[in-house]
Amino acid sequence: MDYNKLKVDQLKKECDKRDIVCKPTREEMIKALKLHDSNDWVFHTLQKKLKHGGYQVQIDFRNTKELIDMGKLVEKKLATSMKVFATGRLYFKTENEFITVNQ
């Protein structure tokens, strides 16, 4: 698909449909969509507060830095793997919020 021919609102809809979070500029959206098409896009880490305490953390399997950080928490028994791999993400459970540094 030639993204250069699309309008900004169409690019935004395409990014939203693919769950891509990026700056809302035309150039950034086109860059992100092309990376997604080539399967090189790394999704942001998601966190969800659980009803019974703790957090569910979802990390893209291509995000090696955050996976290494989470692995250190698992070694210290501050987090556990939920042994789930879905939507390109690995799922973990932590008692405290997982602090991420945006790329």
What pTM value is reported for the model? 0.74
Q: Which helix (H) or strand (E) holds 82?
A: strand 79-86
Residue 100: pLDDT band (50, 70, 90) is low
**Direct distance between the N- and C-terminal alpha carbons of the chain, in angstroms, rounded to an integer:** 26
Interatomic CA distance for residues 34 and 26, integer angstroms: 12
| Residue extents of the structural domains in the chain | 3-37, 46-94
Q: Is the pLDDT of residue 102 over 80?
A: no
Copy the structure tokens of residue 27: 């150039």
Q: How many helices (H) and strands (E) does the chain have?
A: 3, 4
- Could you read off the pLDDT of 41-97 as tens digits, one per residue? 888 888 999 998 999 999 999 999 999 999 999 999 999 999 999 888 999 999 988
